[in-house]
Amino acid sequence: MAEFSKIEPSYISKDGCRLIWKEVEEDDQHVIVLNKDEFEQIFEILLKDSTGIVRLEDEYSRILINTDVTQFQLKELKTLEVKTSILRKNVLEYRNVPHEPKPIKIYPKEFYPSIEIEKEDDDEQNKLLNAVLTSKNKDTVSESDLFRVMATRRSTRNFDVSKAIEQWKIEKILAAADTAPTAGNFQGFKLVYIKNREIKKRLVEAANNQPYVNAPLVLVFCIDPSRVKMNFPPEILTKFSLQDATLAAAYSQLAASALGLSSIWIGMLDEEKVKQIIESDLKPSSILCVGYPHQKRPPKSRRKLKELIRVIE
């Protein structure tokens, strides 16, 4: 059961707000973001102590304001409820005070793995990459056989946020991205490793309010067609870089599973909002959210191999 918790300012737009519900038993939250118009409509109804319906931007979700209870019927989430009197108190109080989203200054940094190597010269290729990939830790998962990892991987949207990911695991996940094949080996992608908590929260909003985007490890994979120095039309270079970024994210996802972690791949995102949040000109292709799962679950079922494969002899 989710219980209404509070209203917060929106992270992205300066108008509108975020309505937060918390799961009573799990440390999980549901967020509904209202734009300026939607918030004004709900405010007007509650101010007049009236009842009514507010339809949300996605043309499916709606808010039913009744005398006792207000229901939020949503496309992606289960229906959320709150006592109308509680909602009225929160909305009227919220509206009384001007709210501005807090600007965040981003300080991009270079990435330095904890493993130190002597000067990386041209004779010994991939020295640092290999050092990170092959470094052994006392907790290294022994059963990281690739096929076992594939057979047991399962996405999670429910991370144990109290459990931090060990730095050496993060480094292996990042390094794994750099081992993926890329078109012409031009590595037409960029990986943005989000450490900043506020930025993670903003990414939730940019990813259709999927709360699990605020995960212990958040990686944004972006396409970088300008790196693909091949004599092909721009649309081909864009396709190549999209495939590069996708493969890299898949390699990182498998690496995370091999290290006993779980992840969720986020494809449902607003490219422009993500670009704005991470202050980048590069289009994001996916966000990979990684952490320890609350509960390890068996993999999902797939169609039969026979149905997947068509043989041409």
Ligand X SMILES: Cc1cc2nc3c(=O)[nH]c(=O)nc-3n(C[C@H](O)[C@H](O)[C@H](O)COP(=O)(O)O)c2cc1C
Nearer to ligand X, 154 or 163 (CB): 154
What is d(CA 166, CA 65) in angstroms, rounded to the nearest whole number?
46
Which residue, 87 or 289, has its beta carbon nearer to ligand X? 289
Q: Please tell me whether residue 217 binds ligand X under the rule CB under 6 A.
A: no
Among the listed ranges 32-40, 43-51, 153-161, 232-240, the one in contact with ligand X (CB under 6 A) is: 153-161
Is position 303 an interface residue for ligand X (rule: CB under 6 A)? no
The residue to which tokens 């020295």 are assigned: 127
In whole angstroms, what is the distance from residue 74 CA to residue 80 CA?
8
Instruction: State the Cα–Cα distance between residues 259 and 238, nearest whole angstrom.
Output: 32
Among 95, 127, 157, 239, binds ligand X (CB under 6 A): 157
Q: How far is the CB of 213 from ligand X (least distance, A)?
A: 9
78 lies in the binding site for ligand X (CB under 6 A)? no
267 contacts ligand X (rule: CB under 6 A):
yes
CA 38-39-43 angle, 5° bins:
120
Among the listed residues 152, 195, 268, 296, the single contact to ligand X using CB under 6 A = 268
Binding residue for ligand X, selected from 10, 70, 182, 210, defined by CB under 6 A: 210
Give the nearer residue to ligand X in terms of CB position, either 113 or 284.
284
Choice from 173, 192, 194, 264 touching ligand X (CB under 6 A): 264
Q: Judging by beta carbons within 10 Å of its beta carbon (0-12, 13-18, 19+), is residue 17 exposed, middle or buried? A: buried
> Which has the closest alpha carbon to 172: 252, 264, 292?
252
Two tokens, residue 262: 């779980």
Q: Which two tokens stand for residue 233?
A: 């039309």
Nearest residue (CB) to ligand X, 99 versus 157 = 157
Shortest spacing between CB 80 and ligand X, in angstroms: 18
Q: Between 90 and 210, name the residue whose CB sits nearer to ligand X.
A: 210
181 binds ligand X (CB under 6 A): no
Among 136, 300, 304, 306, binds ligand X (CB under 6 A): 300
Whether 33 contacts 10, CB under 8 Å: yes
Q: Which of 57, 103, 82 is nearest to 7 (CA)?
A: 82
If 0-12 CB within 10 Å is exposed, 13-18 middle and 19+ buried, where does residue 262 land?
A: buried
For position 163 contacting ligand X by CB under 6 A, the verdict is no
Do 241 and 223 contact (CB within 8 A), yes or no? yes
Q: How many residues make contact with ligand X (CB under 6 A)?
A: 11
| Cα separation values, 300 from 53, 150, 156, 161, 227, Å | 38, 12, 11, 23, 37
- The two tokens of residue 14 are 């300066």
- Burial of 131 from C-beta contacts in 10 A (0-12 / 13-18 / 19+): middle
Q: Which of 266, 277, 288, 290 forms a contact with ligand X (CB under 6 A)?
A: 266
Residue of the chain from 130, 155, 196, 209 that contacts ligand X (CB under 6 A): 155
Question: Which of 48-56, 162-170, 188-196, 264-272 is the region at the interface with ligand X (rule: CB under 6 A)?
Answer: 264-272
Smallest separation, CB 187 to ligand X (Å)? 21
* CA proximity to 71, closest of 55, 82, 59: 82
Minimum gap (Å) between residue 154 Cβ and ligand X = 4
Q: How far apart are CA 53 and CA 269, in angstroms?
A: 27
Minimum CB distance to ligand X smaller for 51 or for 155: 155
Give the interface with ligand X as residue ranges (CB under 6 A).
154-155, 157, 210, 264-268, 299-300
